[in-house]
Chain A
C-alpha cells in the first residue's frame, strides 16, 4: 500500500470504511509530512494537531463500536485562515488579527465538524484575501511545492500548497476574484468557486461581501465533489444563501456529447494569455471535441470590463468592511498611546492599505457616480449578457490564469499583477460557479489550469463535466 499522505481523499475514506486503516494512522501520516515540509512551504499559520489526534482517537473508537459515520468522518481537512474556527486562532493573514480567537465556528466549519472531519489547522493566505500570489501574508510567503522558488498563487495559497505537498487531503479556500482557482491552477490541483449564495458566508471574515464565497479544494474533482456535499447546505444566518437542492451523489457517466461550450475570442485571440498556457488549453479543447462536445467561439468584449468592475466594487466593499478594525475590539493594540490611525497604519500591509484607500476614494462624493455607480451598472449588464450566453451554451471555458506561477518577489509591487485576475473575475462579478483543474504543464514544468464556468446553481453539473474531462486529460498531480 502506498503511503497514506499520497492517497487522494476518496481513497482514504474508502480505506477507512473498509477498516484497513485507522483515522489515527491517516492523521499521523499527514502530520509526518507537515513536519517534513512545513519549514520550506509555510502552508499553515496555525496547526491544531493535539486536538486533531484526540478527535482521531475518538473516531477510531466510534468506528470499532460500529457507529454510523459519514463517508469523510475521520479524514483530515485544512481550513483557510479567514474562516472562523471556535477557539482556534483566525488571523486572516494579518497583523491586525494576529491574536484573534473567534467565539463561534463558521457555518462551513460547523458542517465539517458535523461530518466529523478532522481540522488540521489554518492555512496561510494573502492578507484579508487580497492578492493573487500568496506573497501578501503577514506570516510569510507560501511557496509552491513544485518549485519553492515560485509562488503558490493566492489568496488561498496555503490551502493549495497543503494539498499538493501531502500536508492535507482536503482544504477549504475562499474566492473573491479568483482566490481558489488561481492557486489551484498554479499548484496543479482542483478548486471550485461555488455559485454566490450556494455556500453560507456565515463566519467568513469579509473582504468584499458581494463576491466572497467559501469553496472546496482537492487533488481531483471527486474529492472536491465529496467536500461540496458537506458544505453546500442552506443557512438562514446568511441572507444571500439560497435553499437549493444540489445533487453531488453521482459524478460518473456524464456525457459531453452534444454539449455546447463557448470560448471567448477576446481572451484566446489576444496577447493576454501566454503561448504555453494557450497551447495546453487548446489541447484540452481538442479532447472535449473528441468527447463529443461542440466548441464555439463567442465574442464577449466585456470580459475586460469585468476587471475594473471587480476592482471598483471589491475595493469599495473592502474599505467599508475593514473600517471596523480599530485595534479596540479586535487584536492588535501595541501600546496605550496608539490611536486608531497609528494602529491601522501599522497593522495593515501595503496591499490592504492600497485597496482600502482606493475604495474610500471611489466612494467619496466627488467620485461615486464616476466609478461605483458605473461599475454597478456594468456588472448588471455583464450578468444579463452571461444569462443570454447560458441560454445557448452549457459551459464557458477559459484558461484559469494568463501565465503559470512566477518566481517569488518577481511581481511584488508590480502594477500589472492585477491583470492576472482577467480570466477569473468575470465569474466573480456575475456570481456563477467556476472550477479550475490542471490540464498540463508549461515548458518550466509548472501546471496550467483550465477554467470551466456554468450558469448559476449548476455547480453539480459543472463538477460532472470537470470529472469527465479530468479523466480524459489524465493529469498526473502526485504529491511532490
Chain B
C-alpha cells in the first residue's frame, strides 16, 4: 500500500534539512510508508471533539543566576573566532 509518495518524503526531508537522494530514500521509504499506512489504517478515530490543551497554573519565578562558563560552552564547537561560534556560510 502506498501511503506516502517518495516525492512527499523528499519534500519533508528538504524542510528538515536532510538530503535523501540516492540510496538514502530506499533505506528510509519502506518503514516510513509502513508507519503512515499503519496510522491511516488504525486512525479511524472521529476527530470532532475539541482538543484540550494543558494549562499551567504555576510557573516558577524568574531568578537571575550566574550563567555557565562561556569558555566551557565554546569548547563544544570546533570553529571559534573572536570568542563566538563560527556559523557556516549559507549562501554565496
Given A341-B17, A415-B34, answer yes or no on A353-B28 (Cβ-Cβ < 8 Å): yes
Cβ contacts under 8 Å, B78 to chain A: 333
Indicate if the CB atoms of A239 and B15 lie closer than 8 Å: no
Q: In the complex, which of the residues A99, A304, A328 contacts B87, with contact meaning CB atoms closer than 8 Å?
A: A328
B27 CB to closest chain A CB (Å) equals 5
Given A344-B18, A374-B47, answer yes or no on A328-B86 (Cβ-Cβ < 8 Å): yes
Task: Please choose the segment from A48-56, A63-71, A354-362 that sits at the chain B interface, where 4 or more of its residues have CB less than 8 A away.
Answer: A354-362
Say yes or no for B89: interface residue by CB 8 A criterion.
yes
Indicate if the CB atoms of B19 and A342 lie closer than 8 Å: yes
Given A330-B76, A353-B24, answer yes or no on A369-B31 (Cβ-Cβ < 8 Å): no
Given A329-B76, A340-B17, answer yes or no on A413-B27 (Cβ-Cβ < 8 Å): yes
Indicate if the CB atoms of A307 and B77 lie closer than 8 Å: no
Bound Cα distance from A358 to B37, whole angstroms:
12
Bound Cα distance from A365 to B68, whole angstroms:
38
Cβ contacts under 8 Å, A339 to chain B: 88-90
Q: Binding site of B, secondary structure by majority: helix, strand, loop or mixed?
A: loop
Indicate if the CB atoms of B77 and A328 lie closer than 8 Å: yes
Bound Cα distance from A401 to B27, whole angstroms:
26
Indicate if the CB atoms of A328 and B88 lie closer than 8 Å: yes
- 0/1 per residue, B11-54, Cβ < 8 Å to A? 01101111110001001101111111011001101010101100
Say yes or no for B75: interface residue by CB 8 A criterion.
yes
Say yes or no for B64: interface residue by CB 8 A criterion.
no
Say yes or no for A139: interface residue by CB 8 A criterion.
no
Indicate if the CB atoms of B76 and A308 lie closer than 8 Å: no
Indicate if the CB atoms of A101 and B75 lie closer than 8 Å: yes
Say yes or no for A345: interface residue by CB 8 A criterion.
yes
Say yes or no for A272: interface residue by CB 8 A criterion.
no
Indicate if the CB atoms of B43 and A356 lie closer than 8 Å: no
Indicate if the CB atoms of B19 and A341 lie closer than 8 Å: yes
Q: In the complex, which of the residues A331, A340, A356, A418 contacts B88, with contact meaning CB atoms closer than 8 Å?
A: A340
Task: Please choose the segment from A34-42, A177-185, A245-253, A376-384 that sits at the chain B interface, where 4 or more of its residues have CB less than 8 A away.
Answer: A376-384
Cβ contacts under 8 Å, B34 to chain A: 415-416, 418
Chain B interface (Cβ < 8 Å from any Cβ of A): 4, 8-9, 12-13, 15-20, 24, 27-28, 30-36, 38-39, 42-43, 45, 47, 49, 51-52, 56, 59-60, 68-69, 72-73, 75-79, 85-90
Chain A interface (Cβ < 8 Å from any Cβ of B): 99-101, 103-104, 236-237, 239, 304-305, 307-308, 311-312, 319, 323, 326-331, 333, 336, 338-345, 348, 350, 353-354, 356-361, 364, 369, 371, 373-378, 380-381, 413, 415-418
